[in-house]
């Protein structure tokens, strides 16, 4: 005999616990990544709230937002309750956040120390399963003008002709 475990939809939660109301009252800083994504996908599934669904998905990615951002849509859809529409919403939100970070860093960075390069490139290169060679174009005052990937290689190397 199957064991029945009652589940509450977000509508049945107390108003202070609902992610949307919490965001309105306290601001987005008070919400977890799972709660923010739950607001984005917007709907519960049978037996699971949107927050529980996003908590389960985020736990598979070690609570990192950069990993689902780099995952293909079909891998995000492996999670029960996440169909193509929800997976696309998640990918779009994460891509927009990546572009905001890239644009902001491009506008503000003056390369005076090596940590500036690290801060620009870590969102792009973190957790890639292969090597990439990038070039950063700077103006005369060491401000970032553009960046381009010149080559993608294998697990341990990439080749670039001068």
- The pLDDT-based confidence of 134 (bands split at 50, 70, 90) is very high
* Predicted TM-score of the model (pTM): 0.56
Task: Identify which of 80, 57, 55 has the alpha carbon closest to the alpha carbon of residue 68.
Answer: 57
Q: Is the pLDDT of residue 131 over 70?
A: yes
pLDDT value of residue 1 = 44
- pLDDT average, residue stretch 141-159: 86
State the CB neighbour count (10 A cutoff) for residue 134: 14
pLDDT value of residue 2 = 47
- The pLDDT-based confidence of 12 (bands split at 50, 70, 90) is low
- Residue 8 CB contacts under 8 Å (≥ 6 apart), including other chains: 49
């Amino acid at each position: 005999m199957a064991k029945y475990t009652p589940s509450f939809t977000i509508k049945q939660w107390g108003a202070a616990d609902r992610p949307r109301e919490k965001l309105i009252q306290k601001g987005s800083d008070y919400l977890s990544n799972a709660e923010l994504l739950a607001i984005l996908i917007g709907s519960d599934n049978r037996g699971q709230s949107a927050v529980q669904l996003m908590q389960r998905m985020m736990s598979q990615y070690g609570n990192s937002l950069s990993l689902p951002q780099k995952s293909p849509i079909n891998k995000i859809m492996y999670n029960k309750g996440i169909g193509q529409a929800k997976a696309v919403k998640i990918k779009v939100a994460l891509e927009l956040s990546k572009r905001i970070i890239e644009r902001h860093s491009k506008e503000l960075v003056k390369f005076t120390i090596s940590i500036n390069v690290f801060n620009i490139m870590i969102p792009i290169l973190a957790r890639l399963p292969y090597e990439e060679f990038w070039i950063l174009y700077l103006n005369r005052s060491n401000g970032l003008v553009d960046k381009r990937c010149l080559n993608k290689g294998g697990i341990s190397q990439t080749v670039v002709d001068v």
